[in-house]
């Protein structure tokens, strides 16, 4: 394998899908089976260098080290909540910080991962939006969050990551190309081999990308809805002015789901704003005809935000109205609020 890297930057192999790695190998005179070997090594637990790829010749390993590298995130910060939720802070090569959150449950571990540094969507109730937008994460930076947390769990005998949710910092569909590459690696049987049924991509409502995502890959979809009329949603979520509810829900109807799955609609309950019985009735009518389940999220209050959590009676009434109309409705318990790891609280204050 000739040394071409002296005049350019080395290639991060974790930025490459298996097909792209095969092309990279071919360009360096390596057969496809070598690319397959290298790709499988990249995602083995605890792998940290080409020297550990023991079924490759020493010469090839040394050549790879000259031409390429594979990035590895390690937690700069790790906080554990009273409820067992773990927040990881990762410092990127440019000094920016991102956060991932592990939510342990009785029979599974769910990892919430970030797709951007900050977020441009500026949803009124979300602290991440107050950061502003810095940049998209690379494919490697997305995938590395999963590898790093998986390694940490293994080292501490805490099981494995079972489910992935793209609900951390950023709007995943605004980083579409890198999202698709990361999902391809996450689902690849030689990569991290997650079932399509165990990956959920959340969006605040980029309608064209919702349709394209469903055409490209099979994953679960969660839509941050948070209002049942355009006037309220315009105030809470600026993206609604670009893709109003009618356009968004048409895209949801076109989205190709994994078998026997439904779209999850997330609805944060804000006292006096979107939590009335009338709002619940409007929501039920709005989602009519869509394979839907609804997650209600009582507002996570923060001093920086002008919103309050409704009382339990109001939450129960809202839920019951939807249930009576045939919807599966869960009130999602807040996890990790004491370490600012709950929904809408990720702000990575040291990212600037």
Is residue 352 pLDDT above 50, yes or no?
A: no
User: Residue 45: which CATH number?
Assistant: 1.10.150.530
Evaluate if pTM is beyond 0.85: yes
SS3 241: helix
Q: Which of 23, 48, 69 is the last residue of a domain?
A: 69
82-109 pLDDT per residue, tens: 999 999 999 999 999 999 999 999 889 9
Q: Are residues 37 and 142 in the same domain?
A: no
Task: Identify the burial level of 7 via C-beta atoms within 10 angstroms of its C-beta, where 0-12 means exposed, 13-18 middle and 19 or more buried.
Answer: exposed
Domain identity same for 159 and 82? yes
Q: Tell whether 88 and 48 lie within a shared domain.
A: no
Quote the CA–CA distance of 198 and 166 in Å, as a whole number. 11
| Structural domain ending residue among the three candidates 15, 34, 69 | 69
Annotated active-site positions, please?
99, 343
Three-state DSSP state, 4: coil
Dihedrals phi, psi of 311, to nearest 5 degrees: -70, 165
253 lies in which domain range? 75-351
The runs of H, that is alpha helices, within the chain are 18-27, 32-42, 58-67, 127-130, 139-155, 176-187, 207-216, 230-236, 239-242, 245-254, 277-286, 312-324
Tokens of residue 332, six digits: 């999602």
Q: What is the mean pLDDT of residues 293-311?
A: 92
- For 160-188, the pLDDT digits (tens) are 999 999 999 999 999 999 999 999 999 99
Nearest alpha-carbon partner for 280 in 227, 334, 349: 227
Nearest to 113 by CA among 189, 178, 39: 178
- Owner of token pair 């810095």: 134
Asked whether residue 350 carries a pLDDT value surpassing 90, the answer given is no
Q: Which residues contact 220 (CB under 8 A, 6 or more apart)?
A: 196, 197, 199, 200, 201, 257, 258, 261, 264
Q: What is the pLDDT of residues 174-225, one digit of tens each?
A: 999 999 999 999 999 999 999 999 999 999 999 999 999 999 999 999 999 9
Residues 5-40: pLDDT tens digits?
A: 443 589 999 999 999 999 999 999 999 999 999 999
């Amino acid at each position: 394998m000739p040394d071409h890297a002296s005049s350019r930057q080395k290639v991060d192999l974790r930025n490459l899908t298996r097909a792209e790695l095969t092309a990279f190998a071919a360009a360096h005179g390596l057969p496809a089976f070598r690319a397959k070997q290298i790709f499988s090594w990249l995602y083995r637990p605890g792998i940290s260098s080409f020297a550990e790829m023991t079924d490759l010749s020493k010469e090839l390993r040394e050549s790879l080290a000259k031409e390429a590298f594979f990035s590895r995130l390690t937690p700069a910060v790790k906080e554990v909540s009273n409820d067992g939720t773990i927040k990881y802070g990762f410092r990127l090569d440019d000094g920016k910080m991102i956060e991932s959150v592990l939510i342990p449950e009785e029979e599974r571990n769910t990892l919430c991962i970030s797709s951007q540094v900050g977020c441009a969507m500026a949803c009124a109730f979300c602290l991440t939006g107050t950061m502003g937008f810095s940049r998209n994460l690379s494919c490697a930076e997305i995938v590395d969050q999963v590898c790093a947390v998986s390694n940490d769990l293994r080292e501490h005998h805490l099981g494995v990551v079972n489910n992935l949710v793209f609900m951390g910092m950023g709007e995943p569909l605004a980083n579409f190309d890198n999202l698709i590459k990361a999902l391809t690696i996450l689902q690849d049987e030689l990569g991290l081999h997650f079932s399509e049924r165990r990956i959920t991509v959340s969006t605040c409502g980029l309608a064209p990308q919702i349709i394209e995502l469903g055409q490209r890959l099979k994953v679960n979809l969660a839509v941050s809805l948070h209002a049942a009329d355009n006037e309220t949603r315009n105030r809470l979520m600026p993206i609604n002015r670009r893709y109003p509810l009618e356009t968004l829900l048409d895209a949801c109807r076109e989205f190709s789901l994994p078998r026997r799955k439904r779209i999850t609609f997330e609805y944060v309950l804000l006292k006096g704003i979107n939590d009335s019985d009338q709002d619940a009735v409007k929501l039920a009518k709005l989602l009519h005809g869509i394979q839907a389940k609804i997650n209600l999220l009582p507002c996570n209050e923060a001093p920086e935000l002008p919103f309050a959590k409704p009382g339990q009676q109001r939450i129960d009434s809202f839920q019951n109205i939807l249930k009576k109309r045939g919807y599966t409705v869960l009130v999602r318990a807040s996890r990790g609020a004491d370490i600012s790891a709950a929904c809408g609280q990720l702000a990575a204050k040291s990212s600037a």
